[in-house]
Amino acid sequence: MTDPRFTCGGCDNRWSGFNRCHCSACHRTFGGVGLFDAHHRERRGKGECIPPEQITTTNKAGAVSRVMFLTDAGIWQGTEHPSQNRPPKRGTR
Ligand SMILES: [Zn+2]
Ligand SMILES: [Zn+2]
């Protein structure tokens, strides 16, 4: 068995993983359909792509943060799981 590989007819991007969403308009690859939806908006019946680095969210404290980041693999991933950024470290004396 090999990893499922996907390609795009309009660019050289290759990616794997069934949850990935590749935009056929701006040729970015997203880690999930929710992120894809966040960058793509309908305007007067016409689809429009928003640069992911310009998509931000504001929390209750008023702090603005970006919704997704580009990984080394060239895939835009969300930050829904901030706990993953903090591996538990305890009792390492
Ligand atoms: Zn797009
Ligand atoms: Zn493409």
Helix (H, G, I), strand (E, B) or coil at 37: helix
Q: pLDDT tens digit string along 39-64?
A: 999 888 888 999 999 999 999 999 99
User: What spacing in Å lies between the alpha carbon of 72 and ligand 1's midpoint?
Assistant: 19
Sign of CA dihedral 68, 71, 76, 78: negative
Residues with CB under 5 Å of ion ligand 1 are 23, 25-26, 49
With cut-offs at 50, 70 and 90, classify the pLDDT of residue 81. Answer: low
What are the tokens at 40?
């793509």
Q: Measure 71 CA to ligand 2 centroid, in angstroms.
A: 17
- Tell me the CA–centroid distance for residue 27 and ligand 1, in Å: 6
How far is the centre of ligand 2, averaged over its atoms, from the C-alpha of 12 (Å)? Answer: 7
Task: Please tell me the distance between residue 21's alpha carbon and the centre of ligand 1 in angstroms.
Answer: 10
pLDDT at position 17 over 90: no
The residues, any chain, with a CB within 8 Å of residue 18's CB and separated by 6 or more, are 4
